[in-house]
Each structure stands twice: as C-alpha cells, then as structure tokens.
Structure 1
C-alpha cells in the first residue's frame, strides 16, 4: 500500500485545538470561583465558550484518520498496537500526576489517594479513556461508514439521542422515557469520529461553508449567552451549555473543521506558517499531557488568569503555559523507544 499523504489541514486543526485546550483550562481555573454577575466571570465565559470545540476537533481528526477505507485497521492491530500505546501514555502520565500530587511539595502524602488518582487519572486524562473506547468500536464504525447514507443515519441518531435528548433530561417524563429505551448503542463521542470521516470526505461548496460558519457562530453565542443566563438564573455557575455533546458545541466544532477543510482544499501553508504550525501539531499530544503541570506550577507563582483582568491575563497565561509545555513535549518525544507514544 502506498504511503499515506499528509493532510495539511489536520495539522492546522491540531494546532488550533491544542491552543484552544490551554485557553479553556486557563479560563476555567477561575470560572468556577467567581460570581456570574462579575465582568471577570463574563470574560472567562466568553473565552471558554469560544474554544469549546477543541476536544470534538481531536475526536473528529482521529475519526477521519482511523475510518479511512484504505487503512488496514483490524481488531488485531488495535489490540496489539493502538490501544497499548494509549495505555502506556496513560500509565506514565497518570503515574506522574498521581506522584506529584501525592508526594510533591504540596502533596497529600496518602498512598491510598495516590493509587486512586493513578487509576482514575488527572482531570485531563479522561481523554485517554474516551479514545480507548473509540478505538474498541472502530471496527464497527468502519463497517458503518462503508455506506455513506448509513453513516449519516448514525450521526442523526447520535444527534437526537446523545445530544438533544440529554438536554431534556430535567423534564421527568423525558428522563424516564430515555431510561426505558436504554439507547446506549448510540455512543456520544463516536458521533464525532464518524462526523470527522464524513466531513473529511465531503465536497464543501462555498454556500455550505457559509451555513456551517453561521451555525458555528450561533453555537458559540448560544454557549456564552446560555451559560450566563442559566448561571445567573440558578445563582451558581453551571456547565449545562458547555458540554461537548450539546448541539451548540457540536455546531461550533463542525464549523471549525469545515473552515479548515475548505481552506486546505484551496491553499497550502507558507514556509513560515508551516514552521510554526507543524511543530505545534506534531507535539500537540505531549502538550496536552503536560500542560496542567505548568498551569498549576505557574499559578503557584502568581501567573494565572488572576494576573490581570481576564481579557488580558488569559492569553498571556496561555502563552506562558504553552511555551514550556512545548519544550517538555519536544524533549520527552526524544526518549528512546517510548517517546513517540507519550508526547
């Protein structure tokens, strides 16, 4: 089989998504503690709402790659290669964070709590669990996407039962009906996997792109306005509209993906941009793994979203976290045999 051609717009998406992840976590660090009536909270809410697409984008890129018909992906290759690599990354990074919080300078010193955190993983390592789940069902999804109409039907089902219906759970009769139906075959994040394949192989017209962008902008506005309204209504900060599977966040993710694809079909990165985007994309996994360490390390030294008004402090802090995270990812990547799998 000939070597696969590198898809440049995936590099653009990875770079945008990893920067967005750091922005999200920087904004979220104070979002939970400030009152929703404050201007600082509103600024953090806007930043957070703008970058919620980040994790769905990573799922969509993986789906676009793993569901390519020409790739020879089997249960055997997943069990012997892809999943063990994720498990290795989880074990090493979860061990690092568990040891740091257990026995570091501000550690709790409890072996029991350290072991529990190791198994569960630090807050951002949920992504590894989700990816392992998606890898496990990849052989099934590859069969689904063989027929494009069936693949869109799958996305439609997931949209209804994994995105829209859960938003109606507060209505008792809806919650009871969903419980009776037990529609667990439609797995939420698998929708992004399949969507990534469908959008990557679609031909986007300019009109279709405009509709995607408008719906994405509307999604961001709904996320920000809805979160502010609901938080002030309930008198506490609520993440109802922040969930990755809400229609508003899905719309934003689809818009970002489609915009990058449409651009990628008509342009290529200049040499200067390629030298900037390429490394960030290449080390995005390592940056994702290590950035919470630097976020907490810098916060302990006064460099956080509290540095100034969030309008200014969020981008400054994001940059301060990204630079050392990139350097560490660069170094870790060069560890013999395992570096490529953990950074």
Structure 2
C-alpha cells in the first residue's frame, strides 16, 4: 500500500532541493567575486537559498519525530538507516571516481583514498549535510522519547538554548575582532549539550509541524520572512561588494536570521497546503521521492553541464542541470534494483 504523502512536506522538500541545486550552480560566479557578470543577482539569490539545508533538517525532524516507527530500533536499522546510507555510499563512490577521472584522468589511487576517508570527511563538500543527518537518525529513538514526554515549554527551552549557544554566540564571536570575540567563545559548552548546531532545526521542524494550519498567522510569518530576507540580502551584498568580511559584526546578521527565515517559510508553506491544486499536488508527489537522489547526483550533473554551457551562465547551467537530474532520477526510479540502492 502506498504511503500517504504530506503535501506541504513534499513541497518544502522540492523547494529545498531546487534551492540547493541553484546555489551550487552559482559557485563559479561567486568565486570570481563582485566583478563577475551577473554577480549581484547570484549573490542575492544564493542568500535566499541559505534556508534550503535547514528546511531539509526540519522536514526530517517533522516526519521522523512524528512517526510511531521511530521508537522501533529494528525499523531504524533495517529500513530508515539503509534508505539513507546505501545511496549515500553508492553516490560517494561514483562521485569520487567521476571527479578523479574528470580532473586527473584514469589514475584512481586518490579516489580510493578519498573513499577510504569517508568516515572522516565527505567525498564532495556538498555531502556534509548527510553526516549530521545520520547522527540524528541514530539518536532519533531517544529524541522521540524526549518530545513525546515533555511539555511544549521544555521543547521551547531547548530551542532557545540551542539558538543562544549554537547560533547567536558563535556568530557573534566570529564576527568580532579576535581580541573581543574571544570573550564569547564557549569552551566546548555547546558541543557538550548538542550533537550538532543543526539539531535545533530537526527539533524545530517537529515543533512547527504540530502547529495547526488554522493557528498560523500567514501575514505575520510572511512579513517576518520578507523583512528578514531583505535584511540578509542587504547584509550579504554590502559585505561581499565592499569586502567588509573583516569589519566588526559584518557577518553576524544573516546566520542569526536563518532560523527565523527557515521557520517562517516552513509555516507559510504549511498554511498554503489547502490551496494547492490537485494537479500541483500530483506533480509534487511525483518529484518529491526523487529529491534525495537529485541531492546526491547533482554535483556530477552540474560538472557535466558546465562543460557544455559556460559556468558563468548560471541560469542556463541550473535550468539544464535540474531537468537532467529529474529525468535521470525518474529513469532510475523505474529500475527496481537501482531505485533501491541509488535513491
């Protein structure tokens, strides 16, 4: 029997996937700096896409911590972990050999070395996202027991504690001159409390998923998202355009705003759920199961497309890459063995 999908979760998943692919197609332009053609729109749009990874963690928290299966360790190891680990390992191996071949020819010693270091570091930088997620999966039964047995006020307390120790203070410390920033550095404090600075998004997704659509104030959340996004864009534009990275508090605002931007966008998309047309829902339900495979394969696809289309034309690279990714993952999803191990 086909699992009933939650449409707003699928919408967030697809939006986040598109944002990640777009951000990575802009890397060549951003590396060139503000003198590159179309740098300004790339800088603005990539700033907006910063919410993508938090949204991925949030929908994971929303689905996993709301599932009764999360309490079952057999389900965790026989189903949930396998679904994430096997495709990750498969695409890591494929990516290691692919980029070694593209960059250095058929000399695969370095690729084998990179694969052997998988426990310590990802084959591709973009795969860093998977490592905290695996950790969250492993402790999800304990997190499930926690959220099921504490009042909402305790969850709020944990989220506030996470924001202060993992978002606010670390970014304040980094954005101040060293002689002042050192006073806001905690000696292993945050790491003793939380697995990762991303775990707050995992719990935040669970909390927001349990707010009913009727209680979501769309105008308020949309206003916070728009104002916060504009502030983040202005902040990143000014810093990058005028090379102000070393100025006090220059890099403070955008990362501190990120939890609010991710949270309000999550709530807005949930509020809209009842307004999605049946055709739109059908399209989203077809694309959503492909997103993990797209995430794992898009680096290879972007690299191949960039050999055909000038990487500075990031809109063109993105458009072709996203279509190729969708077609490839759709084709692979129709091959049972491949669907099981690569998606």
Shorter-chain TM-score: which interval?
0.7 to 0.9
Q: In the TM superposition, what are the counterparts of 1:36-55 in structure 2 within 5 Å?
A: 40-55=38-53
Question: In 2 relative to 1, CA 92–223 (structure 1 residues): closer, same or farther, beyond 3 Å?
Answer: same
Equivalent of 1:254, from 253, 258, 263? 263
Give the drift of 1:269: 2.8
2:85 — aligned with what? 87
Among candidates 104, 107, 111, match of residue 107 of structure 1: 104
SS of aligned partner of 2:38: helix
Alpha-carbon distance, 1:231 to partner: 2.5
- Describe the shift of the 1:206–1:87 C-alpha distance in structure 2 as closer, same or farther (beyond 3 A): closer
- The answer to whether residue 125 in structure 2 is matched with residue 123 in structure 1 is yes
Change (3 A) 1:274 1:180: closer
Displacement of 1:112 in angstroms is 4.1
Which of 212, 227, 232 aligns to 1:203? It is 212
Q: Is the 8 A contact 1:285 1:342 kept in 2?
A: no
Q: Which residue of 2 aligns with 1:151?
A: 155
* Alignment partners' CA distance in 1, 2:140 and 2:102: 42
Residue number in structure 2 paired with 1:97? 95
- For the 8 Å contact 1:28–1:48, the answer to whether it is kept is no
Note closer, same or farther for the CA distance 1:207–1:165 as it changes in structure 2 (3 Å cut).
same
Displacement of 1:131 in angstroms is: 1.2
Residue by residue over 1:47-67, the C-alpha shift from the partner in whole angstroms, topping out at 9 and shown as x without a partner, is 101221111111111100100
Runs of 5+ consecutive residues of structure 1 not aligned to the other structure: 308-312
Number of equivalences: 329
- C-alpha deviation, 1:70, in angstroms: 3.2
Q: CA deviation at 1:14?
A: 1.4
Gaps of 5+ in 2: none
Normalising by structure 1, we get a TM-score of 0.85
Q: Taking structure 1 as reference, are residues 268 and 221 closer, same or farther at Cα in structure 2, changes over 3 Å only?
A: closer
Cα distance in 1 between the residues matched to 2:79 and 2:303? 33
Note the 1:170-181 alignment, pairs <5 A.
170=174, 171=176, 172=179, 174-175=181-182, 178-180=185-187
TM-score normalised per structure 2:
0.85
Q: Within 2, Cα distance between the matches of 1:4 and 1:250?
A: 30
